[in-house]
Amino acid sequence: MEIKVLKNIMHANQKLADENRALFKERKITAVNIMASPGAGKTSVILKVIEHLKNEIGIGVIEGDIASNIDAEKIDKLGIPVVQINTGGGCHLDANMIKTVVPDLGLTENAVLFIENVGNLVCPSSFDLGENIKMVIASVPEGHDKPYKYISMFEGADVIVLNKVDLLPFIDFDKESFKKGIRALNEMAPIFEISCRTGEGISEFIGWIKEKSKAGS
């Protein structure tokens, strides 16, 4: 009985995710599902993209958190359409949540929609939101073993961002081991090394985002 219920939940989510995907395609919206541990820098990465591209392309943001609207307030101050989703304890966003709030953003054609998922490297990987791009952000302070521990997250990623590389001289982080773990699971996803604090690697990453938005992913 429990297995049947789980299957029903996943089937219902997939149906709504497919509807979201069709809507994004129709409106030429590039939807990016950003997944990471708490503190990896999801909001910081979004803010960097806004800083560089807000005058070039339309941008909207969905902020997912268990509670609070701290990150949404940061986005709102920049004049970017943003909607906060508080899950009240839920460990991930789902397709129905996205479907419900997308109309509130008023996105134009060719816009990029960043969906900041709840900070978690387990549950979000199992729930399709209808996104075009699955982005996984890891950070140097978390350690280089994340691809070995959270296989499904890195296996399904379309792009991987290693954030806070400015801390490499101060933290025992084996970059080669990190990349080896990723490539054992995922041979295709590009890996960007960036620092939101110093700006290292940001231009290459921004260029990739622009390319994907123009191509409609």
Closest CA to 211 of 45, 7, 62, 53: 53
Q: Comparing 16 with 7, which gets the higher pLDDT?
A: 16
- What residues contact residue 111 under an 8 Å CB cut-off, 6+ apart? 27, 28, 29, 30, 57, 58, 59, 60
**Per-residue pLDDT, 5:** 55
Over range 9-31, report the average pLDDT. 94
**pLDDT score, position 10:** 79
pLDDT digit string, tens, across residues 69-122: 999 999 999 999 999 999 998 999 999 999 999 999 999 999 999 999 999 999
* Residue 158 pLDDT level (bands cut at 50, 70, 90): very high
pTM beyond 0.85: yes
The confidence score (pLDDT) of residue 7 equals 63
Asked if residue 11 has pLDDT above 70, the reply is yes
DSSP letters, 104-127, are: HH-PPTT-EEEEE--S-SSGGGG-
Domains observed in the chain: 2-215 (3.40.50.300)
CA distance 129 to 132: 9
- Strands (E) located in 14-151: 30-36, 59-65, 82-86, 112-116, 133-139
Q: Give the length of the chain.
A: 217
Q: Is the pLDDT of residue 15 over 80?
A: yes
The CA angle 138-141-147, to the nearest 5 degrees, is 40
